[in-house]
Structure 1
């Protein structure tokens, strides 16, 4: 149980600025605000599992379709119509592996590429190229989805993921709906994986 002394110490170490949203939601009651902060931490922890599954599924499913069309080392294939930004992300990922003296293998490059890279492949700039050539096949488990809807969903979830990664508040959001959107998006790629992710998730117990 938190004492007044602990609350005051947390106010100093976390700072009032950091606690601002929580204090506002709690009517400037410090004890209640820290309670919300604790709830936010538990929520963020619970979302780790479904978000991890979402990200790993997306990168593996997109890479699979790119590999079928362009080969396992598609990230080195110059015929893949990637824009400058995407090419730079691949360069950075390979450079990071080399800097850490790790072997530049397809699986390691794929894992090193950021979530934003994969979500970017679903953007409008690739609609007439990568999407129509192969990437749409990654979402056939959900009956096939329009690129715009897929990109919109994954981009929104990317922003949500980043809020958690940057320790931002999520307690005020409809996290039940967001959790359902994550599971549904996984289901677009694999229904069995979505069922497993939902079973493993602790979000419903925390919300």
Structure 2
């Protein structure tokens, strides 16, 4: 994204960010310190901000820039809605974990289906952003081992 609009894309008036994103950028700049770099500001943006930058309201301004950076979406005939949907699944998982909500269900098939959805979304989004990072995640994830240790029935 930074190559298309410059490294300070978060300050670009063309993108017409809503006040929530403007507020998030201001907070990120404050956290980054008075001599911030664009990379530090980007690192300080919350997952909430990244998630909502994919909203439909940015379809004509921000999304075309993002889309150019994700060429396999076009090759697969997928678009913003597909990518945003996958990020929303990850966002939901992140919120469940952050609020200590259980991922274990009494129905192992329902649990498996839900965890497969989370795993697929994470893998696809990571692969689209950085294939090397996706390989690293797959190689180092403890999730498959943890899932294989799940008892077949829960009391």
- The reply to whether TM is greater than 0.5 is yes
Question: Could you tell me which residue of structure 1 aligns to residue 68 of structure 2?
Answer: 137
Q: 1:22-58: CA deviations, max 9, x gaps?
A: xxxxxxxxxxxxxxxxxxxxxxxxxxxxxxxxxxxxx
Question: Could you tell me which residue of structure 1 aligns to residue 56 of structure 2?
Answer: 124
Q: 1:152-177: CA deviations, max 9, x gaps?
A: 11012111111111211112233233
Mind listing any 5+ residue stretches in structure 2 that lack a counterpart? 106-110, 148-155
Q: State which structure, 1 or 2, has the greater radius of gyration over its C-alpha atoms.
A: 1
Residues 1:181 and 2:150 aligned together? no
Using structure 2 for the length normalisation, give the TM-score.
0.79
Residues 1:89 and 2:24 aligned together? yes
Q: Which has the higher helix share?
A: 1
Matched-pair contact (CA < 8 Å) for 2:70–2:129: yes
RMSD (Å), alpha carbons = 1.8
| Closer/same/farther in 2, CA of residues 131 and 206 from structure 1, 3 Å limit | same
Count of aligned positions = 138
Using structure 1 for the length normalisation, give the TM-score.
0.61
Distance 1:171 1:111 in 2: 32
Question: Could you tell me which residue of structure 2 aligns to residue 160 of structure 1?
Answer: 93
Matched-pair contact (CA < 8 Å) for 1:141–1:189: no
Q: Relative CO higher for 1 or 2, CA cutoff 8 Å, sep ≥ 6? A: 1
Query: What does 1:23-172 align with in structure 2 at a 5 Å threshold?
Result: 65=1, 67-98=2-33, 103-132=35-64, 134-142=65-73, 143=75, 145-172=78-105
